[in-house]
Amino acid sequence: MNKLNLSNYNLHSTLLGGQSFSWDLKDGAYYGFTQDKIVKILSQKGYIFWQTYPQSNDENFIKNYLNLDVDYEYIIQNFPKDTHLEKAINKHSGLRILNQDFEQTLLSFILSSAKNIKAIRSSIRDLNKKYGQKIIVDNKVFYLFPKTEILAGLSIAELKNSSIGFRANYLKSSAQKLIENKDKINSLKTENEYRDFLTSFNGVGNKIADCTMVFSLKIQDITPLDVWGIRILTDLYGLENNLKYEQMQSWVKDYFKGYGAWAGQFLFEDIRGFKP
DNA sequence: TGTCAGGTTTCGG
DNA sequence: CCGAAACCTGAC
């Protein structure tokens, strides 16, 4: 295992909270899957220990994924002082935003629409088991997230065997579009460019575009506006619920001073009652 | 047993 | 543009 000096990083709330479906806690360690590796992480007062498989010691990956080049203390200290945020930060101290793989994040959130977290995690693991590579770590069996090419080549009927229902069409069509537009995402930069591209995928509206931008493209000034996100704005901060999507995100950018993604994540985990 | 879940698309007005 | 129905299915 590799050792990394890393204080104030709440692995539990970060890896098992709502921003990723790819992690499990087993025997005191967190195991996650991407499209090409299994990642093992555990924390021990002020340090984390980690390893990647089958390619070992992928330090570049781990630092990118854990999003370590952000100035966490600065972000927290710069938040507006209000009781809701302070309560949420206190409860989930050390919660971070991850920088996950783009294609996996987009495809995973396409599967999330109108499903609860437990069900979507179950569907993804079923797809992994059927179509992802098997890897043994610590005598435990893991499966990678399926390659985009594999998903694009499956039939709708095959995909529906993983309990994803009407999302099967979205998944296949989006996987195909990702292949046709290989690396196009890397040529884009601004939120508007990202949003236009992402919402052109079948099955991707504003909310899933938000999740993809925040959790895999380092957009920090917006927060995903699902039912919970909107509830936060209306119930806690008094916004009118008939505001348009763009107006709500505009308020988020302004009020949270460019770090709405981070503030929103604290508030989201708090309001939905995630146990730290 | 019926409703609902971290939405999007489609369709009618 | 805007509200409502349709889309699948496991979970409560």
pLDDT at A74 over 90: yes
H-helix or E-strand containing A2?
Answer: strand A2-5
Is strand C less than 7 A from the beta carbon of A116? Answer: yes
Is strand C less than 7 A from the beta carbon of A91? Answer: no
Gap between the Cα atoms of A167 and A150, Å rounded: 16
Q: Give me the CA A1–C1' B7 separation in Å, rounded.
A: 40
Q: Give me the CA A115–C1' C12 separation in Å, rounded.
A: 13
- pLDDT tier at A94, thresholds 50, 70, 90: very high
pTM exceeding the 0.85 threshold for the entire prediction:
yes
H-helix or E-strand containing A137?
Answer: strand A134-137
Gap between the Cα atoms of A63 and A104, Å rounded: 18
Q: What is the DSSP string of A33-94?
A: E-SS-EEEEEEETTEEEEEEESS---HHHHHHHTTTTS-HHHHHHHS---HHHHHHHHHTTT
Gap between the Cα atoms of A98 and A103, Å rounded: 14
pLDDT at A7 over 90: no
AA letter at A14? T
By DSSP bridging, strand A140-143 and strand A134-137 are: antiparallel
Residue among A181, A115, A127, A121 at smallest CA distance from A151: A127
Phi, psi dihedrals of residue A42, rounded to the nearest 5°:
-140, 155
The predicted-structure confidence for A131-165, as pLDDT tens digits, reads as follows 999 999 999 999 999 999 999 999 999 999 999 99
Is strand C less than 7 A from the beta carbon of A163? Answer: yes
Question: DSSP 3-state assignment of A208?
Answer: helix
Structure tokens at A220: 């920090």
Q: What is the DSSP string of A210-230?
A: HHHHHHHS---S----SHHHH
Q: Give me the residues near strand B, CB below 7 A.
A: A 17-19, 112-117, 119, 166, 199, 201-209, 211, 224, 226-228, 268, 272
Q: Which nucleotides of C are covered by protein (CB under 7 A)?
A: 2-3, 7-12
